[in-house]
Amino acid sequence: MSNVKPVPASQSHVIMTELVLPSHTNALNSIFGGVLLSWIDIAAAISAQRHSKMPVVTASIDAMNFVAPVYKGWVVNLKASVNFVSKTSMEVGVRVDAENPITGECFHTASAYLTFVALDRDGRPAPVPPVLAETEDQKRRQKAGERRRQLRLQQRQERNP
């Protein structure tokens, strides 16, 4: 894989915007966590596909943190990008910001890290090009992603000795 040209982190950047409709909400008129999680998974999958240029599947979702509620009629902005690449897997970070369209107020509402595996034509894990961190923020996210991967592997070992 060392002869494969790294893909700039900016190539995997995704911005996705959704409007919270009544069908997306619970009895409190705030978005169901599962609806938001679905949008996060979609934004992250698009990011992983842009990076790998291959079909991808979700392998794990971790560090899913709901910070604040989002209400009916509000706008949800999701930003996703590949943070770290291993041999066949990619960690994608997603930040979710909510916007109250009446007041204009915007705030952080959720974050998550997802791992995707790229698949070849036969549906088997396929090698992924490395990610090229271009900015200091991308370099920081890449190092943090590598640490999270080590923790995920360690936790997997502890669950399945």
* Residue 2 belongs to some domain of the structure: no
Q: What is the CATH number of the domain that holds 80?
A: 3.10.129.10
**Per-residue pLDDT at 143:** 97
Range of the domain at 137: 7-159
**Per-residue pLDDT at 26:** 97
* Residue 143 belongs to some domain of the structure: yes
* Residue 123 belongs to some domain of the structure: yes
**Per-residue pLDDT at 49:** 98
CB 83 within 8 A of CB 140: no
**Per-residue pLDDT at 64:** 86
Digitized pLDDT (tens) for each residue of the chain, 161 residues in all:
457 899 999 999 999 999 999 999 999 999 999 999 999 999 999 999 999 999 999 999 987 889 999 999 999 999 999 999 999 999 999 999 999 999 999 999 999 999 999 999 999 999 999 999 999 999 999 999 999 999 988 888 888 88
Burial 100-121 (b: 16+ CB within 10 A, else e): eeeeeeeeebbbbbbbbbbbee
Distance CA 53, CA 45 (A): 11
Task: Give every CB contact of residue 70 below 8 A, 6+ residues apart in sequence.
Answer: 20, 30, 31, 36, 76, 98, 109
* Residue 43 belongs to some domain of the structure: yes
* Residue 1 belongs to some domain of the structure: no
**Per-residue pLDDT at 1:** 46
Distance CA 109, CA 65 (A): 8
Into how many domains does the chain fold?
1
